[in-house]
Structure 1
Amino acid sequence: MQLHPFTSLAAAGSTAVLTTAAASLPLSLAVIAAAACLSVAGGVERRMAAAAAGILVPLVLSLFILHGLFFPEGAAVLAQWGPARVTVEGLQFALDRATQLSASVLVLLLCSFTISVPDLVASLSARGVHARFAFVLASTLTLLPAITTRLGRIRHAQEARGLVITGGVFRRMTAFRWQAVPLVLSLVDEAGTRAAALEARGFGGPGARTSYREVPDPPFQRRLRLVLLLAAAAATVVRLGQSWVGS
């Protein structure tokens, strides 16, 4: 069954909210496993793994460094170096937050890598959203996949010219600037090209617009989106209520 773009967005957003609100390690691990399996089924596992690694590795490391070494409520000390203490409670807290964050990032990345931009733009336009704003919103959701693809092409081109990017961390950091400059310049150039193309297609023109692209939206998916949004809202209210009672 082909998911409507709004259904994909509702499923990704609701899953991220529910996982964060539940704060359950088994649920977070289940969401991570499901996102990984769906990425393989969709054929986007390599691109998604590269993007997830770039986002999650520094964040997860910072969580373990901050909470693993400087967790004030930690009682079971495993090791200590001056004010820094490795505690069981700190490592458990860091693990819980890292899995929650990983689950949310992975489901959002999966949505951005698999959603159909033309269908999303057509669906937004059909709901009365201005065509220019619809295109900007759709492009924002797919910005990370586009950057990942473009960065891979730049890296392959530079490796073909003899630039050594493999190796240790410092060598990779040194080589990163040789990739960042052409990446930024190519994105700026592409933005100008896209703006000209949009003007040529009348995206900035006034008046009613029609679209040749019809995106089916079955009643079942509309009801499913409502249930997902209500579940996310209810989970948020319950979580905030628990925090308020606890404080």
Structure 2
Amino acid sequence: MTRLLHPFTALTAAVCTAVITTAAANWPLSAAVALAVAVLAARRGVAGRVLGAAAVILVPLCLSLLLLHGLFFPEGHTVLAQWGPARVTTEGLQFALELGTRTTACVLVLLLFSFTVSVPDLLSALTARRIPPQFGFVLASTLTILPAVTGRLDRIRQAQETRGMVIRGGLPARLGALRLQMVPLVLSLIDDAGSRAQALDARGFSSPGPRSSYRDIADPRAQRYFRAAALLLAGAAVAARVAASWPGRMPS
């Protein structure tokens, strides 16, 4: 996702990669995609920001997947350990690993796009394609808010610590502290989005009529062919996944 790429090319690559990874449902492929995204983020100089934002999203999600499927997987048969109704099964751990790596890969791909795409170029490209401006500005607002999530969460944690919040104990205490940090984070993001919407509306961005742009974004033919091929490949991956899970084709 470099500056040589048209914004639609970067967006298509990110979305199609997430779709193909989800359709494949193969944890080695998901791990390879996540590793490739980490390398690309490091080469672009945004590895710290991408991985930091991903950690905020993925750590509680992966922990919940591990607890839910690792301990209470109903289809599990190979029991490794058991504590009352909780059973650690090989099948549950495999399912949690597959779902966790798949989600990690998709989140990293989309975060890399959001941290590297040029928002002005993206808005100009949307305007040139006659896409409704409301969609463009909602997307642009989302992309500008995401990079600030990590820093905002750190400020919330510092503010809570200055008010006397001390994290003691093991994992349950840390999960409870994370919940106390996520609530003001979500509320602040909602308030920020409302302020941006009001500012855009006051400047006439919601008004109907023709749009013009002062930025000329080159769209080489090779990139247009790449986008078409990527969309076809993603569609084929989804179709293959649906065909493989069709009831008449399921193994007995």
Letter in 2 for 1:246: M
Deviations 1:149-186 (A, max 9, x none): 44445556x49x94567754647855975785488458
Taking the aligned partners of 1:239 and 1:171, their CA distance within structure 2 comes to 38
1:13-162 alignment runs, 5 A limit: 13-152=15-154, 158=159, 162=162
Question: What is the CA distance between 1:83 and its match in structure 2?
Answer: 2.3
Structure 2 regions of 5+ residues with no counterpart? none
Q: For structure 1, which runs of at least 5 residues remain unmatched after alignment?
A: none
Question: Contact 1:69–1:85 at 8 Å: present in 2 too?
Answer: yes
- Alpha-carbon shift at residue 43 of structure 1 (Å): 1.6
Q: How many residues align?
A: 244
Counterparts in 2 of 1:150 and 1:79: CA distance versus 1, 3 Å: closer
State which drifts further: 174-183 or 82-91: 174-183
Q: How far, CA to CA, are the matches of 1:179 and 1:59 in structure 2?
A: 13
Which residue pairs with 1:195 in the alignment?
Answer: 198
Distance 2:201 2:113 in 1: 25
Distance 2:239 2:181 in 1: 47
How far does residue 117 in structure 1 lie from its aligned partner after superposition? 1.0
* Conservation of the 8 A alpha-carbon contact between 1:47 and 1:149: no
Between 1:58-67 and 1:131-140, the stretch displaced more is 131-140
- Whether the 8 Å CA contact 1:16–1:107 is kept in 2: the answer is yes
Q: CA deviation at 1:233?
A: 0.6
Measure, in 1, the Cα distance between the counterparts of 2:113 and 2:191.
25
Bigger Cα displacement from structure 2, 231-240 vs 131-140: 131-140
Question: CA offset at residue 73 of structure 1?
Answer: 2.9
Distance 1:184 1:74, change over 3 A: closer
For residue 231 of structure 1, report the CA deviation from its aligned partner: 0.6
| In the alignment, structure 1 residue 219 sits paired with structure 2 residue 221 | yes
Measure, in 1, the Cα distance between the counterparts of 2:132 and 2:78: 57
* One-letter identity of the residue aligned with 1:14: C
Change (3 A) 1:21 1:140: same
- Length-normalised TM-score, structure 2: 0.83
Provide the C-alpha distance between the structure 1 equivalents of 2:24 and 2:178, rounded to a whole number of angstroms. Answer: 41
Match for residue 242 of structure 2? 240
Once residues 28 and 179 of structure 2 are traced to their aligned partners in structure 1, the CA distance between those partners, rounded to angstroms, is 37
Deviation at 1:190, TM superposition (A): 6.9
1:208 corresponds in structure 2 to 210
Matches of 2:63 and 2:91, distance apart in 1 = 17
Identity %: 52
Q: Is the 8 A contact 1:165 1:172 kept in 2?
A: no
Distance 1:86 1:56 in 2: 22
